[in-house]
């Protein structure tokens, strides 16, 4: 007969084995990373219900996101006119070869990089500065927080047309103000290759920098005030406090906002098309305008799709580096 001590040892071993099996074989909730705040287990029925509610939307987004990419990828290897008069011909890499050998593609790529880097950099610097100012307590702060959204709520087309009229050399209020005051500022905002890109960047910064302010300000309000109090007690200067407390806390948000604004700015068509149409002398022509002209002026769907696919690859590379930087920024906060 087994002794009581032997029975207890066997029971302990069975419990230990069960625990090991549960750890070695995690459930579906563990694989999906689902945890309850109270530390309890997710019930099977609740998990099934959650997956059932999530699956239709996920499949819809997957379909809407996957089909256009595959369609563009397929069209980039074909010669296909938007007019439909020619038969669809599989041409392999001919579209890519034509595009990469075209001088206008490299001019548009360079202009797009200049437009994106300058616009996003100025938006980030200006948005961070305004967010830091609006985070401080002063009379009328809520009013200024509301007014800062003024430019962002405007439709992009309306904002571009308003700026075009304001800077016009015939009816523009800025032009008449410069002449009345006798300021040494040439009125060649959109008509000179030397000033056209800077003018477009100025309008884009004015239109979209509130997006930066909103995100930075939201993150600033979640930083623990005790950190600033401790830094003040330790004798840290405002610059040291910003460098060691504010900036590390903002960095994940900064990277994500930069990622979104980089994609949206590089793909922006409305501002440049409405202000300069890519001119003068292709000084503001970017790849979205090249895609538009290839599709609706030259009626070539294949080359337009190939150009769009190259833009997608370029943005995917940029997204990879942004997400790597985001991961490092999150790890530093842990």
The CATH number of the domain where 309 resides is what? Answer: 1.10.3720.10
pLDDT of residue 33: 54
Asked whether residue 287 is assigned to any structural domain, the reply reads: yes
pTM for the model stands at 0.80
> How many whole angstroms separate alpha carbon 8 and alpha carbon 112?
74
Ranking 1-15, 90-104, 161-175, 294-308 by mean pLDDT, the lowest is 1-15
Listed ranges 63-72, 137-146, 276-285; the one with the highest mean pLDDT: 276-285
Identify the domain containing residue 216 by its residue range: 96-333
Q: Where does the pLDDT of residue 150 fall: very low under 50, low under 70, confident under 90, or very high at 90 and above?
A: confident
Can you say whether the dihedral through the CA atoms of 106, 109, 111, 113 is positive or negative?
A: negative
pLDDT of residue 15: 47
pLDDT of residue 79: 83
First to last CA, the chain: 55
* 1 has pLDDT over 50: no
Q: What is the DSSP string of 58-116?
A: HHHHHHHHHHHHHHHHHHTTEE-BTT--S--EE-TTHHHHHHHT-HHHHHHHHHHHHHH
- Is 34 within 8 Å of 42 (Cβ atoms)? yes
Helix (H, G, I), strand (E, B) or coil at 334: coil
- Is 192 within 8 Å of 242 (Cβ atoms)? no
> How many whole angstroms separate alpha carbon 97 and alpha carbon 243?
48
The pLDDT tens digits of the residues spanning 235-262 come to 888 888 888 888 999 999 999 999 999 9
pLDDT of residue 23: 45
Asked whether residue 144 is assigned to any structural domain, the reply reads: yes
pLDDT of residue 91: 82
Which residues, other chains included, contact 301 with Cβ-Cβ below 8 Å and sequence gap of 6+? 75, 78, 80, 81, 82, 295
Ranking 140-154, 167-181, 187-201, 218-232 by mean pLDDT, the lowest is 167-181
Asked whether residue 293 is assigned to any structural domain, the reply reads: yes
Listed ranges 57-71, 143-157, 198-212; the one with the highest mean pLDDT: 198-212
Asked whether residue 269 is assigned to any structural domain, the reply reads: yes
Asked whether residue 304 is assigned to any structural domain, the reply reads: yes
User: What is the CB neighbour count within 10 angstroms for residue 288?
Assistant: 21
Asked whether residue 120 is assigned to any structural domain, the reply reads: yes
Asked whether residue 184 is assigned to any structural domain, the reply reads: yes
Listed ranges 10-24, 56-70, 279-293; the one with the highest mean pLDDT: 279-293
| Token pair belonging to 49 | 């219900």
Q: How many domains, in total, are found in the chain?
A: 1
Asked whether residue 207 is assigned to any structural domain, the reply reads: yes
- Is 185 within 8 Å of 211 (Cβ atoms)? no
């Amino acid at each position: 007969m087994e002794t009581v001590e032997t029975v207890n040892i066997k029971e302990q071993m069975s419990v230990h084995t069960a625990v090991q099996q549960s750890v070695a074989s995690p459930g579906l909730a563990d694989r999906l990373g689902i945890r309850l705040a109270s530390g309890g287990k997710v019930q099977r029925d609740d998990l099934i219900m959650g997956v059932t509610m999530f699956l239709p939307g996920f499949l819809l987004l997957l379909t809407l996101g996957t089909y256009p990419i595959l369609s563009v990828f397929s069209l980039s290897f074909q010669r296909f006119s938007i007019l439909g008069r020619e038969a669809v011909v599989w041409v392999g890499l001919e579209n890519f070869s034509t595009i990469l050998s075209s001088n206008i593609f490299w001019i548009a790529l360079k202009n797009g990089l200049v437009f994106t880097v300058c616009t996003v950099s100025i938006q980030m610097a200006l948005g961070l500065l305004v967010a830091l100012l609006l985070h401080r307590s002063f009379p009328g702060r809520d009013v200024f927080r509301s007014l800062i959204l003024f430019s962002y709520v405007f439709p992009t087309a309306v904002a571009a047309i308003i700026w075009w009229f304001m800077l016009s050399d015939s009816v523009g209020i800025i032009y008449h103000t410069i002449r009345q005051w006798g300021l040494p500022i040439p009125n060649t905002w959109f008509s000179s290759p030397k000033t056209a890109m800077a003018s477009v960047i100025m309008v884009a910064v004015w239109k979209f920098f509130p997006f930066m302010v909103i995100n930075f300000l939201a993150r600033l309000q979640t930083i623990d005030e005790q950190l600033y109090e401790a830094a003040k007690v330790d004798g840290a200067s405002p610059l040291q406090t910003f460098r060691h407390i504010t900036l590390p806390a903002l960095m994940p948000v900064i990277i994500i906002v930069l990622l979104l604004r980089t994609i949206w700015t590089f793909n922006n068509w409305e501002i440049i098309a409405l202000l300069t149409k890519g001119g003068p002398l292709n000084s503001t022509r970017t790849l979205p305008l090249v895609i538009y002209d290839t599709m609706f002026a030259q009626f070539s769907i294949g080359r337009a799709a190939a150009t769009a696919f190259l833009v997608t690859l370029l943005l995917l590379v940029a997204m990879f580096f942004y997400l790597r930087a985001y991961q490092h920024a999150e790890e530093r906060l842990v």
